[in-house]
Structure 1
Amino acid sequence: MDDFLAARSQMALSLGFHIIFACIGMVMPFFMATSHYRYLKTGEKEYLQLTKAWSKGVAIFFVVGAVSGTMLSFELGLLWPKFMEHAGPIFGMPFSLEGTAFFIEAIALGLFLYGWNKFNKWLHWFTGVIVGISGLASGILVVAANAWMNSPAGFDYINGEYLNIDPIAAMFNEAWFTQALHMILAAFAATGFAVAGVHAGLLLKKTKVSFHKKALRIALSFGAVAALLQPISGDISAKDIAQRQPAKLAAMEAFFVTEKGAPLLIGGIPDEETQTVNYALHIPKALSFLAFGDFEAEVKGLDQFPKEDHPPVAITHYAFQVMVGIGGLLMLLALLFFISRWKKPLWEDKKWFLRLFLLATPLGFIALEAGWIVTEVGRQPWIIYGIMRTRDALTPMPGIQYSFYLFTAVYLSLSVVVLFLLSRQIKALETSTD
């Protein structure tokens, strides 16, 4: 494994690990606060039990997200020093603000966890809300930094120098809103369906039925709404990418030849040598409409870009298809959930209904990972789109593969610890009595 592949593999592993735990840690506090609010309004002890159970999960994911996020910060400087040398002064502001949001989240979480029966009950509830808001702000700020890599702004690039730096313009670049919106909805959908899946599995075992029904409804209320809004966000993102990163759009769709009235491809196996896509379903003119709102609009293919600027087509296309396919499936499940809320008797008592959501437990996170592959791999070969190539940002230090092996071991160890702690929490819910 050469140093460049090792460095990219290490960042892929780190981001792939961190994004799951960061998203759960960002979303779960809202579930916790909702359950806590219902306890304060109704006095039902099951909501109190649920709040305390979920707060333990929030604490676990906060700690793991903090550890993996800190490691990522070090990796940026270790692996990509040229990138940090030039980019740091430009997009450092969102990272600095993210640190502030992180500290607020940590303080609020500590107050919530140790504030039972010590604060005014509504002040205590509000500290839980602050955990969610600060976590959400932290996620948005990190995504703003990533969006800057896709849509560089806030500086002038003249003769290889970065001049007239404006950190505010860099943070609020053209891509930050669309990426942040898409990411937030993805986090809520993935976490909502995952948490609901856990409680659906426990409902199938007929343990604490009323308790787990309450949990299922709260989690799916958030996850289902996000899943139904996600296609709107995806459409906004696709139109934005078509304008700013047409090569990425071409890779996502495995679109090799520029064409007016371009068809949308569903599935298919791209062949980059022959520039064809086999076994795909073609929907006439649909890509032109989705990208530009015009059935006859011209969509640029990869033939319009130098070969050295082509993103890896196959992996980008497959990841995009996985993301969209799972997104569509979760949208159908969201509709099923809302229909079930109108029916009497509710489908929540039906095994087939619970099994569907149990099977859907990992799907949101698979789509989340696929979406980040599209974002990151689809930007290649650029680390700063159109300005700095990823290879040019690589550290000259040799032996990066050993760093990759070390970080892999650390992340695997963290995964084992998290799975152990979560299994204990789930077992406690399963074996406890009403």
Structure 2
Amino acid sequence: MAVAYGQAMDDLTAARATMAFSLGFHIIFAAIGMTMPFLMSAAHYLHLKRGDKVSLELTKMWMRGVAILFAVGAVSGTVLSFELGLLWPGFMEHAGPIVGMPFSWEGTAFFIEAVAIGLFLYGWKRMSPWVHWATGLVVGISGFLSGIFVVAANSWMNAPAGFEWVNGEATGIDPVAAMFNRAWLHQSAHMQVAAVQAVGFAVGGVHAFLYLKGRAPELNLKAMKIAMVFGAAAALVQPLVGHFAGERVAELQPAKLAALEGHFKTSTYAPLTLGGIPDEDTETMHWGIEIPGMLSVLAHRDPAAEVIGLDQYPKEDWPPVLVVHVAFQVMVGLGMLMAVLGLLHFWFLKKGKFPRWFLGALAASTPLGMIAIEAGWVVTEVGRQPWIIYEVLRTQDAVTPVPGMVYHFLLFLILYLGLGGMTVWLFARQIRVTQRKVEAS
């Protein structure tokens, strides 16, 4: 079976699948690891200000979750670092001397995060209460900075800068310009807000479900409120950040914009297509709803502006249009749905009562933010194809010449599925233990 599978999947496809699965796994735990410390710190703050025991138990429950997820994120992130060298030596040869700075800064932020987690875990009754609280906040801040530095490295792949390419070699290297390239701001902002949004809704949805089940109602209601303040606020900000990101993509990567919108023909008064299925053979969109001129407005703030289509590029330079377009529609659709739920959350929070139908809707929305993050990274990564470094190095030219990549993919698939299952079990166990303790008190 493995031999037959290996014959069906060439080494380039297997290497891309390995990287895609590894990144798709890590990004979930990275997002949780960046955001959960802030939820933990919010609960801890409420305990210190009000002295209520429920907030203390919630803080300790989330603290254990942060520790578990930090360990998983560290493992999966380290694997990704090794995979860059093992699977894509051509990329490291080109990028290593140029874009190493954000990776080194990410390592520094990770070190600070690890120290802060240790201080928070073992600082109970050993430190001043507010100093102890501050160490928990540092966990979140350093984790957030770590995410920004990693995204800065990825943004360089979409908008390479800080070097001149002469006779196949990089010269005049400027690591600062490489890190703070033209794509780093919109990608970092979009990703960090998405992490807060996704984790806020995931945590809020889980606790809304547990509240509806009647388990430790005071604990779960408080947890849902804290998480949804973060998630709902991020969901309302995200459309503005996403619009800014779309304008930058239109400027820096017009082929990606054309693919994610299914825009085949360069035109003025370009329509925005809602839904639809792009057909690369006939270069048309099927079954979509067109809004005339809206794509020109969103991309260039002018309904008469020209939007570059895929017809300006040879087909071998097109991203996979169907995949990118569908992923983009999923991301935007789920984002708008969460924005509506975020508005409703603040409305019901102001009224002081959450109806059961809304709590049920929150419970059902638990995975939506994570799905949107995965779809967004499909847009980012697949939309850059066929380039691993945009318009500098093709993905097929960066892959390792070592054969047998399919076995590498299968190995990591099994390992990650096992690691993911163990993490979910540990996290669920912590929730059950805390709920029993609160219910018994």
TM-score tier (shorter): over 0.9
Aligned to 2:393: 388
> Structure 2 residue aligned with 1:116, among 124, 128, 132?
124
* Structure 2 counterpart SS, 1:290: helix
Query: Distance in 2 between the 1:95 and 1:116 partners?
Result: 33
State the Cα distance separating 1:154 from its structure 2 match: 0.4
Structure-1 residue corresponding to 2:409: 404
User: Secondary structure of the equivalent of 1:90?
Assistant: coil
Equivalent residues in 2 for 1:266-285, closer than 5 Å: 266-285=274-293
Distance in 2 between residues matched to 1:207 and 1:73, nearest whole Å: 41
Equivalent in the alignment of 2:373 = 368
CA–CA distance in structure 1, aligned partners of residues 351 and 127 of structure 2: 41
**Pairwise mapping of residues 118-197 of structure 1 onto structure 2 (< 5 A)?**
118-197=126-205
Q: What is the correspondence of 1:151-300 to structure 2 with a 5 Å cutoff?
A: 151-300=159-308
Q: 2-side partners of 1:200 and 1:338: how far apart? A: 15
Per-residue deviation, residues 259-305 of structure 1 (Å, max 9, x unmatched): 10000000001111111111100001000000000001011110001
Is 1:88 matched with 2:96? yes
Q: 2:349 aligns with which of 321, 341, 358?
A: 341
2:261–2:325 CA contact under 8 A, matched in 1? yes
Question: 1:112–1:127: 8 Å Cα contact kept in structure 2?
Answer: yes
CA distance in 2, matches of 1:195, 1:420: 16
Residue 311 of structure 1 aligns to a residue whose secondary structure is: coil
- Structure 1 alignment gaps of length 5 or more: none
User: Which amino acid letter does the alignment assign opposite residue 393 of structure 1?
Assistant: A
Deviations 1:180-238 (A, max 9, x none): 00001000000000000111011102222222121111100010110000000000000
1:313 and 2:318 correspond: no
Instruction: Tell me the residue number matched to 1:420.
Output: 425
C-alpha distance in structure 2 between counterparts of 1:181 and 1:149, whole Å: 17
Q: Which amino acid aligns with 2:43?
A: S
Distance 1:173 1:122 in 2: 38
Q: Which residue of 1 aligns with 2:4?
A: none
Instruction: Provide the C-alpha distance between the structure 2 equivalents of 1:325 and 1:430, rounded to a whole number of angstroms.
Output: 34
The aligned residue for residue 86 of structure 2 is 78
Unaligned runs of at least 5 residues, structure 2? 1-8
Q: Does 1:355 align with 2:360?
A: yes
Is 1:323 matched up with 2:331?
yes
Deviations 1:93-142 (A, max 9, x none): 00011001101100100110111011111111111011000000000000
> In the aligned structure 1, how far is the partner of 2:35 from the partner of 2:96?
28
Q: Distance in 2 between matches of 1:251 and 1:385?
A: 15
C-alpha contact (below 8 Å) 1:53/1:425 kept by paired residues: yes
Q: Give the distance between the partners of 1:208 and 1:401, measured in 2 at CA.
A: 47
* 1:391-410 Cα distance to aligned partner (Å, 9 max, x none): 00011111111111111111
CA contact (8 A) 1:18 1:68 kept: yes
Partner of 2:96: helix, strand, or coil? helix
Measured on the aligned residues, the alpha-carbon RMSD in Å equals: 0.8
Q: Is the 8 A contact 1:202 1:430 kept in 2?
A: no
Partner of 1:61: 69
Post-superposition Cα deviations, 1:346-373, rounded to whole Å, max 9, x if no partner, equal: 12xx221110100000000000000000
Query: How far apart are 1:160 and its partner, in Å?
Result: 1.2
Per-residue Cα deviation, 1:21-70 (whole angstroms, up to 9, x for no partner): 00000100000011111111111111111100000110111000000000
What percent identity do the matched residue pairs reach?
60
SS in 1 for 2:124: coil
- The answer to whether the 8 Å contact 2:61/2:431 transfers is no
Deviation at 1:152, TM superposition (A): 0.2
Provide the C-alpha distance between the structure 1 equivalents of 2:68 and 2:359, rounded to a whole number of angstroms: 26
One-letter amino acid matched to 1:25: G
- Residue number in structure 2 paired with 1:41: 49
Hey, what's the Cα distance between the residues in 2 that align with 1:200 and 1:278? 39
Amino acid at match of 2:368: L
Could you tell me the TM-score, scaled by structure 1's length?
0.98
Q: CA deviation at 1:163?
A: 0.5
Distance 2:186 2:376 in 1: 13
Distance in 1 (alpha carbons) for counterparts of 2:346 and 2:166? 55
